[in-house]
Structure 1
Amino acid sequence: MFQLLIVDDESAVVDSLADTLPWQQIGIGSVFKAYSGFEALEILHTNTIDILITDIRMPGMSGLELLEKTRRSWKKMKCILLSGHAEFDYARQAIRHDTYEYLLKPISDEDILDKVSKLVELLKVERDELQSYQLVAQAFEESLPKLRGELLNDLLQGLKLSPRRLQEKMELLKVSMLLDESIALMLVRMEGKLSELDLYSLSLMDFAIGNMAEEIFEDYFRLWPCKDIHGFLVFLVMVKAEKREELAEKEAVDQQLQQLASQLQLSVNHYLKGTVSVLISKWGQFPGDVDKLYQDSLYSLRRRIGSQSGLFIYVSDELEQQPVHSLQRLYEPPLLVHLLESASWESAEDKLVNIFHELHRKWADSSEHLIEVFFAIYASFSSFAHKNGRELAAMIGPALSDVAGLTACRSIQSLESWAFQAFRLMRDSMENETRNDREHTVGKIKQYIQKHLTKDVSLQAVADFMYMHPVHISRIYKLETGENLSDYILRLKMEMAAAMLANRSVKNYEIALKLGYQNPNYFNKVFKKYYSLTPQEYRLKLEEGN
């Protein structure tokens, strides 16, 4: 169902069209009414309008002026112009503003329903085209390689997903993987002139090497590629289902994998005129061993390749790896600092809980690990404070922000107490600041409205004054005060109107115009709805009271 807005300074015309025609039957779910161009803009800023019907000649803002303003922000809205004058200039301007119809008054109910019905059908076609599955699917397909690479990179960095969640993601990204499937990793490090390429040329080289690897490995293995945070190309390698019988023996798999990886290295050198080092990890299972294989591969690369270039390393099962005593929860995505920056306070607190759970379980007696956690958390807190234009000491107090003596690291209990105490103080500080900012914003909004009540206090005018979007203005005001901004403006206007009615020398229509109501009849209607009395009845009641 679509939404319709009818605008005319003649309230009888608006009310008749809005209230008497069977709009639901032609697909119109809601009909909004406005008695001036300014009221129409307020409605447009807070509601999604699909079809606009407006008169041309209106005081204050003509229909053509309204059309010109709406074309800037509501390009998809369809417009019908009504006019009591068959003037060529009006028709010409209507065409310039891409008006759907230009209709001359008087127009029958059947004609207006017919025109709007045709517009509804047109909108349905446009909506269906916009939501076309083929268009969305095409865009998604084009993004699949990047999205697959991002998922693999997260798994390399230690991201833990439930089996069901991981399976859903892989199905969505069309990754053919089985849980507990045997996998190995192949790391390719570009060296020499390849590592010095500009970003565009490097992207082309990544693409070329990726294609080359797919062609070389396609007969025996499936590859899932990504580029890691160090700039290495990482390929998750799996034996193709139809080749598992042929490569049943582990030695056969290893031999074939090494041969193809060596061929890739030589092909890069021969065809792309570049040098790469290639490292193949041990075998493990997906997804549980992904991050461990990756960390072991990085360790082997640092230890056995280092700054040398053009090397080929195969990490055999027989080679005993030095255990990597690293903190997993601290560095797995999402990082603590990123959770703080996105104001995900609950997730950030969960992150701290997981960090200390691992610390209690594995490294409670390791002073180095305690210090590592302290400085990592301290750096996250400090970075967050500075990005918000604050000193950390101002947020958590000088006692907790002072690192002298590293008191917090003397035991895991003291470190945990420091971390959660500092975290909660920082969260409270930010939430108080947000509330204060909101209060200050609402205060400025009220001051502006009170000062300009007899001028333009439309939502757009307030938004322009605050340098904010109209929708944001409405939401922040409602969030802070519990009432709609339009209700607040109406209350002030009605209170001012009531005060002005006490002055016998001021006419009712003068009060209406002073408060921005171009149509006195509409002002009378609004006043009666608010006070249950017309302005004249209210004035008489005041006189009787005196």
Structure 2
Amino acid sequence: MYRLLIVDDEEIITDALYETFARYMPDCLDVCRAYSASEALAWMERSRIDIVLTDIRMPGMNGLELTEQVLAYWSHCRVVFLTGYSDFNYAYQAFQMQNVRYLLKTEGYDKILAVVGEVVEEIRQSQHMHKLLEKTYEVTCQLAVLQQEEYLRNLLQNGTSYAGSEIDIQNHLDQWGIGLRASSPVYVVLGRMTYREKPSHAERAQLQTSARMIGSAVMEEQTIHISVLDHYGDMVWLIQPKQTELEPGSSLVRYLEGTLEWVQEACMTSLGISVVFALAGNSCHWSEIPRQYERLRQLHWMKIGDGISMVLRDYDEVLPNQGQREFTRISNRIEVMSGYLETGKIQQFYEVFEALANELIHEDVTMERAMETYYNLALHLYSTINRWGLHQDIPDQRRLLHLHEYTCMKDAVQFLYQAADQLVRFKSSNEQERANAVIHSLCAYVTEHLEEDLSLVRLAELYHFNPSYLSRFFKQEMGINLSEFIDELRIRRAKELLRNADLMVREVALQVGYESAHSFTRFFKKATGMTPQEFRESLLVR
């Protein structure tokens, strides 16, 4: 999914364009809006933006100055200037910029939609594998690939015990044509591919090579890096910034997160494969590479299982807000859960059980905490199965105590659910099917906060998801786009409020998330075929 940011200091124009594009290619466009250049830059810091549709003349920072900062931050971003002025000087400056177009507001919505559609297609084409392969093929052919990769694999496994001192490491790096600096720390990225159909060995090797070339080509502008396939067939990058720091207000980790999202889109578009990346949140010294690499492998194991592209970030430190989210002692919670099961309080049992299970696959959970939670929970289920004499009903119960036998934590959690369901079915024949906790919570939040910011980026921040992943996950579970779901709730709520004749249309608009009554009226008529006032009058006729 591509992200479009609309920037204009005129609220009516911004809102009208936002509503138009929100319904234009909903499966591939996530639309955001800003009413000033400074607000637009704040969006750039929060999330990757693929297309910026901006007015040129704005108070404070104008569109040309904004574009210079946008392209410095995300060089792959495309910009479409939209202005009411046919000013030659502005147009001339705009055409000097890379990936920039120039439109007059008088050209109408159809022209604007067509141009953005062309830009989306250009981005798709730019992600095509062959263009990226051509850019990196010449460099790749010059490397002594076999010797270089064997050196890197041994470095991942043994660190400086294999490579030697800093001087020895630098000599090896120079010998194998690796541009990294032994005197500087490195970031480690681990990528794992999933395939729609099982490929042959030759096909897998070609896909792995192509994916590495795509990733390296995209990261080339801001970083020094080298990639290698580890002994398990996963892709590993060792990365250093080209400069001491990137542009003020940014960081290499944030840059890598956005860039890896772009690589995922390119791999899906060009190769038809899904890639999950695990990214170290902090750099490490060369001697610590094996430990960092092993942590990322464990993070993959804990999080992967649904084949959906996402970027995982490893926080190998105490998070700043961790004190606000202290876990209650696991043993106490399991004791409470056991009491609910024994007394037949199935709903309360599942509430505690799901809370523990969700912690195992939560984005911020540490691996150490996940292991402790899993084995405490598994041991309780195992003990209950034995105590209730359910050996015949759950013949493979011993798997509960062998976490290493599962391909990932999600599979292990799924088996915990199967064991819990068996116990509940034994206890009660009227078991309710377990609803997806995240989707249920998200739907409840949207319903209760219709008057607030419900953009995809905001919801992703609240639920600790990657925005693109949240969009795909919601549609996969609910069969409807998240934006369509929000619009339906807003229309339903608006109809309820309009029945109250004491409320003005502007008051109704504010309660369903529209600051402008004009924008709300256009949205309501688009969805129902009537203006809010016409809807009220139709109620009187009835």
Q: What TM-score, normalized by structure 1, do the two folds share?
A: 0.40
> Higher Cα Rg: structure 1 or 2?
1
Q: What TM-score, normalized by structure 2, do the two folds share?
A: 0.40
